[in-house]
Chains A and B, each alone.
Chain A
């Protein structure tokens, strides 16, 4: 089985722009979770989608949004980028809602905001 894929792997944007990141889960997995990882805040949960519905959301401003398509692929969008949004964005998939079982992580998208 192919693993979780994330595109793009690296991204450089400037403040005020918006960005869309993509995640393709492992085939058959219906849950996709997104995390932001920074040196200062560590790994923080953004949101989770399960069968196209947002199941859970972390404490991030409304500039961070996401969606899931019928094929379970997910996208997250960050609008009006700020310098503090520079981070590694990780997505993870699982066959059941997150927390119940192990999650499989993608390699991440490294976002740099200048």
Chain B
């Protein structure tokens, strides 16, 4: 079963608009990561936020984490056609040696001109 659930499953916006994706997870985590995947290819790491952090920025990306609600959001500002991809959150669950990444179900983002 999936640890994370992304919402919405699909999102279609126009270039220049902002895109917001949400991730909810079930168990306590050490960190949460966001990845991007272009059409059937490998994943690209976007950003990592640790459980003691609430917000992080990287270029046009802004990630928030609310551990009390077990949720995170990814905001992409001023979107571009090249941002069209699937976005996954991944949580690090398990203590110490049991630590591993568990991926959510993903949000498919379509950015049109």
Binding site for B on A (CB under 8 A): 4, 33, 35, 42-45, 48, 55-56, 58, 88, 90, 92, 97-108, 110
B94 at the A interface (CB under 8 A): yes
Q: Is the CB of B100 within 8 A of A108?
A: no
Q: Is the CB of A92 within 8 A of B48?
A: no
Set of chain B residues within 8 Å of A105, measured between Cβ atoms:
35, 42-45
12 contacts between A and B (CB under 8 A): A4-B42, A35-B103, A55-B97, A56-B97, A56-B98, A58-B100, A97-B99, A98-B100, A102-B45, A103-B101, A105-B42, A108-B41
Set of chain B residues within 8 Å of A44, measured between Cβ atoms:
103
B67 at the A interface (CB under 8 A): no
> Could you tell me the distance in whole angstroms from the C-beta of B99 to the nearest C-beta in chain A?
4
Query: CA–CA, A89 to B10, complex, Å?
Result: 23
Residue of B nearest to A3 (CB): B42
Interface size class of B (residues with CB under 8 A): 20 to 34
B73 at the A interface (CB under 8 A): no
Binding site for A on B (CB under 8 A): 2, 30-31, 33, 35, 40-45, 48, 88, 92-94, 97-106
Query: CA–CA, A73 to B103, complex, Å?
Result: 23
> Could you tell me the distance in whole angstroms from the C-beta of B108 to the nearest C-beta in chain A?
12
Query: CA–CA, A89 to B35, complex, Å?
Result: 16
> Could you tell me the distance in whole angstroms from the C-beta of A76 to the nearest C-beta in chain B?
16
Set of chain A residues within 8 Å of B45, measured between Cβ atoms:
102-105
Given the interface pairs A42-B105, A90-B43, A107-B41, the reply to whether A101 lies near B99 with Cβ below 8 Å is no
Set of chain B residues within 8 Å of A103, measured between Cβ atoms:
43, 45, 101
Residue of A nearest to B46 (CB): A102
Query: Which 7 A-B pairs give the minimum distances between C-beta atoms?
Result: A99-B92, A99-B99, A105-B42, A43-B103, A102-B45, A105-B43, A56-B100
Query: CA–CA, A104 to B30, complex, Å?
Result: 19
> Could you tell me the distance in whole angstroms from the C-beta of B96 to the nearest C-beta in chain A?
9
Q: A99-B30, A99-B31, A108-B40 are in contact. List 16 more A-B contacts (CB 8 A).
A: A33-B101, A42-B103, A42-B104, A44-B103, A45-B101, A56-B97, A88-B40, A90-B42, A98-B99, A98-B100, A99-B92, A100-B92, A102-B48, A105-B35, A107-B41, A108-B41
